[in-house]
């Protein structure tokens, strides 16, 4: 912990949050642009996010950019998590809450790597496992972070709500997926889970940049 504290005393870890956000946003946009460049249709109501990484069905090598983005994120996010660990400790968040949040975050990162390395149309089982870890433990991670932020007196309550939003949207998505109630709703809420994650990163990135 001492080495982590010393590192982030010198380096503003908010930069890692923004880097991870930029990688996610840009690689998704480029993947969609490549996917549709040949005339193929793609929509947040008809296509899962993972369809961008399908080796055989994603046109114009869209899967290459998508996979690169997923893998790159899995290497950047550990720095983000370590910074937020440093940040929560510095703010005096309850230790058990930090521990649970940290463990869920690490598992979600592993899921990101697996979902990126194993495409849905070539190694479906491993991709499914990775995606499950991303959404389930991502739900837990963001939810616990949101609760931690709200219950920590030194952090303004409003910065806890984006985390709770991500947790709620992820929960809705997983319930819809399990119950298999209409592909349109399932696909839409998967994208909403991604977008709410972007909102969370932007909010906490700006806040920690201003206060750290």
**Structural domain of residue 150, as residue ranges?**
2-208
Residue with token string 């370590």: 82
- Which residues have a Cβ under 8 Å from the Cβ of 80 and sit 6 or more positions away? 13, 16, 17, 20
Dist CA 123 CA 68 (whole Å): 17
* Separation CA 193–CA 173 (nearest Å): 8
| Residue pair 192/173 in contact by the 8 Å Cβ criterion | yes
Tens digit of each residue's pLDDT (9 = 90 or more) over 138-170: 999 999 999 999 999 999 999 999 999 999 999
pTM: 0.93
Number of domains comprising the chain: 1
Q: Are 99 and 148 in contact (CB under 8 A)?
A: no
* The length of the chain, given as a count of residues: 212
Q: Minimal CA–CA distance to 170: which of 149, 148, 200, 203? A: 200
Residue among 79, 85, 82 at smallest CA distance from 23: 79
Q: What pLDDT, on the 0 to 100 scale, is given for residue 3?
A: 81
pLDDT at 23: 97
pLDDT in tens, 43-83: 999 999 999 999 888 899 999 999 999 999 999 999 999 99
Average pLDDT, the chain: 93
């Amino acid at each position: 912990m001492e080495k982590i504290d010393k590192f982030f005393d010198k380096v503003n870890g908010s930069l890692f949050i923004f880097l991870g956000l930029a990688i996610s946003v840009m690689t998704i946009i480029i993947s969609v642009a490549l996917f549709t460049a040949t005339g193929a249709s793609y929509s947040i109501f008809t296509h899962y996010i993972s369809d961008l990484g399908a080796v055989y069905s994603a046109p114009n090598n869209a899967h290459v950019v998508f996979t690169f983005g997923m893998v790159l994120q899995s290497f950047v996010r550990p720095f983000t998590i370590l910074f937020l660990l440093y940040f929560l400790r510095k703010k005096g968040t309850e230790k058990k809450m930090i521990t649970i949040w940290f463990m869920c975050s690490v598992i979600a990162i592993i899921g990101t790597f697996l979902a990126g390395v194993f495409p849905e149309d070539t190694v479906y089982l491993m991709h499914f496992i990775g995606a499950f870890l991303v959404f389930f433990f991502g739900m837990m991670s963001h939810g616990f972070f949101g609760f931690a932020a709200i219950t920590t007196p030194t952090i303004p309550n409003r910065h806890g709500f984006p985390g709770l939003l991500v947790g709620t949207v992820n929960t809705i998505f997983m319930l819809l997926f399990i119950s298999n109630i209409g592909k349109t709703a399932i696909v839409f809420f998967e994208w909403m889970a991604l977008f709410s994650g972007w909102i969370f990163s932007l909010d906490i990135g700006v806040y920690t940049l201003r206060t750290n």
